[in-house]
Structure 1
Amino acid sequence: MTPDDMSSPTHDEIREYLHRQMLSSVSHDLKTPLATIIGSLEVMTMLYDRLSEEKRRSLISSALTEAFRLDYFITNILDMAKFEADAVRPRLEAARLGQMIQDAQARLGPLKTRGELRVTAAGRDELTTDPMLGARAIGLVLHNAYKFGGRKAGRTEDNPLIEVSYGVANGEGFVRIRDHGEGIPPEMQTAVFDKYMRLQKADQQNAGTGLGLTICQSIMRLLDGRIEVSNHPDGGAVFTLYYPDKTRG
């Protein structure tokens, strides 16, 4: 049953249904990478001497990739709980947008090897903000772009091109992240920040709890900033994060 199948459902009934669906999705998203990790390590343990070096490397790579994916899921779940409990406070200090982008990319693990990231600076990038939270927000959008935004000039979903530009002007910093995927329909551009959004899609082949953009929006609000989404005229989605410069208080 879906929310549309209910007979005049109340708001609370719909949210309860979606909550149950989220728990089911989280369970699936945690068990799937864990099963791959366990399976790869079991094969290595039982058949190590019979495996070729290439096969050993493949099994280790699969386990490591899924371990990073599991860590990403769990981190998002814990972060969502912290934001809903109002337990996160920004720590303002001098920061550089370029360094925040580098930090965000470094935390992507094996995912960052799946495509190409092109970064362009537009003027100065110094400002006062929370660099850890700021980098976390960038990383969540980059993760989304690597995962869903990969087609251009013969590229595949496993070889995405991500374009990032950044700078500081008029008292605020910006980080603009463009992918080359299918874009986001205008009527869905607000809904992508809803933590229940993914659960209402018919296509469930892409694993993930769907919390990344919700957490990103929570971070930007905490920093008194914002995140905006649009479609590029030549295709693909564009997410722009705006960070107010707190240098002057």
Structure 2
Amino acid sequence: MIVIPAVDIRAGRCVRLLQGDFARETVYADDPVAMARHWADLGAPWLHVVDLDGARTGQPVQLELVSAIVRAVPGVSVQAGGGVRSLEAIERLLALGVARVVIGTVALEQPELVAQAIDRFGADQLVVAIDSRDGWVATRGWETMAPVRAETVAQQMASVGVRRILATDIARDGTMTCPNVELMARLARSGVTVIASGGVGRYEDLVALAGISGVEAAIVGRALYEGRWCPQRATDWVVGGAG
């Protein structure tokens, strides 16, 4: 299982939100590009870049910063999202050199667009974000709850050709209390490969996720920024397990 550092951007700075709450923000760096380069220098093979401004407004806002990050980390793959709700937005990010584009709200509200995106760009260049609280899906920057279960959406996405989802337990995001291993295991049985997010606070949490068949990666944010887990070389970003 690969560990992917998160670079969340809001108002031009590198931040983390607690449980997706924009009112509970911690600023970790004024320069997201320098932070991305820092993780790349430590051997991270992937970066997870989120345009939080875009997630809230419904269209990408930080395209220049995303582009600068991609250029600053040659040899590192970048997946990026936040407010991606059209084929044009996906195309713009891919044109910047992003390896995978993360789409969330639109997958639930316009599943036909997901199928169109797969036909146009290929399944390997897309990740569908399924963000949930108590198993119920949240959309529009996590500010709106939908009356549908996360597993149901995962199954729907698999049926239209989605290969990879990014699953976040909002209640655990930024808490470092431990990931929702049970949720990740259920989603991994839905016919999709899972990138797990939310709650990682120590190396043992990564080992637990790596033990789930079908979980190929884990996103880590606050635990990295606050030194709870400190990778020093490229091999540290890979954790053994069943996945």
The TM-score with structure 2 as length reference comes to 0.24
Higher strand share: 2
Q: Give the helix-richer structure, 1 or 2.
A: 1
